[in-house]
Structure 1
């Protein structure tokens, strides 16, 4: 776990801003000891809305996934962090991706009984899908895919097929 991971998890805004200003750490580094969580995953799970904003505004990618396919939105949904979900959605972060079990953040919120998050995510999923379609039609760039995770997932599928 890097200093940035620790600062994001602890909610140490001053240290995060200092690290970001000095550009002394990769904002998107995945921690191999913690299921490939990024600092943004930690901030989202802890409900630190302003930390999430700082990280994304400075280049953290909200589409990155843990080893089980969770985005920051999954973590916010698990812990009932509606303000974080609203922020992620307003920044066009993916709030509707399926994890390796096929669960979207809305399902995670449902499992943990966060009804306010469920209601929000049901609407946000439709808005996100519409935004991606509009962006594609207009040639706007989207950052909604974790290429490394997709590659690992495809390789695992191929290995599974070859062993059968």
Structure 2
């Protein structure tokens, strides 16, 4: 786990800000010891809304997935972090991607009983999809795909079949 991962998980805003300002750590580094979580995954799971904002401002990609296909939105939904979900949605982060089991963040919010998150995500999913269509028509670049995920997903499926 990198210093940035640790600071993001702990909610140490000052340390995260310093590390990012000085370019000491890659905000998109996936920690192989923690299922390929990035600092943004940790911040989203812990509900550190301002940490999420600063990480994204410094290049953290909210589309990156863990080895099980979870985006930061999955972690926020599991933990009932409505403010983080609202922020991710406002920044056009993908909040409607399926993990390796076919579950979207809204399903995790349902499982864990976070009804406020469920209501928000149901509406936000529709808006997210509409924005993608608009972006495609208007030629707006949307960063909503983790390029490593299709390969990793295939590897996970092969392991499950053994």
The root-mean-square deviation of aligned C-alpha atoms, in Å, is: 1.4
Report how far residue 156 of structure 1 moved. 5.3
Report how far residue 155 of structure 1 moved. 5.2
Q: Which residue of 2 aligns with 1:62?
A: 62
Q: Which residue of 2 aligns with 1:104?
A: 104
- Check whether the contact 2:9–2:43 (CA below 8 A) recurs between aligned residues: yes
Report the count of equivalent residues.
161
Q: Which residue of 2 aligns with 1:5?
A: 5
Q: Deviations over 1:9-58 (max 9, x none)?
A: 00000100000010011100000000000000000000000000000011
Where does the alignment leave 5 or more consecutive residues of structure 1 unmatched?
A: none
Separation (CA, whole Å) in 1 of partners of 2:36 and 2:60:
14
Q: What are the equivalent positions in structure 2 for 1:29-40 lying under 5 Å apart?
A: 29-40=29-40
Q: Which residue of 1 aligns with 2:123?
A: 123
Separation (CA, whole Å) in 1 of partners of 2:155 and 2:138:
32
Separation (CA, whole Å) in 2 of partners of 1:155 and 1:13:
36
Report how far residue 150 of structure 1 moved. 1.7
Separation (CA, whole Å) in 2 of partners of 1:156 and 1:88:
27
Q: Deviations over 1:88-121 (max 9, x none)?
A: 0000000000000000000000000000000000
Q: Which residue of 2 aligns with 1:148?
A: 148
Separation (CA, whole Å) in 2 of partners of 1:91 and 1:15:
23
Report the TM-score, using the length of structure 2 for normalisation.
0.96
Where does the alignment leave 5 or more consecutive residues of structure 2 unmatched?
A: none
What secondary structure sits across from 1:25 in the alignment? coil
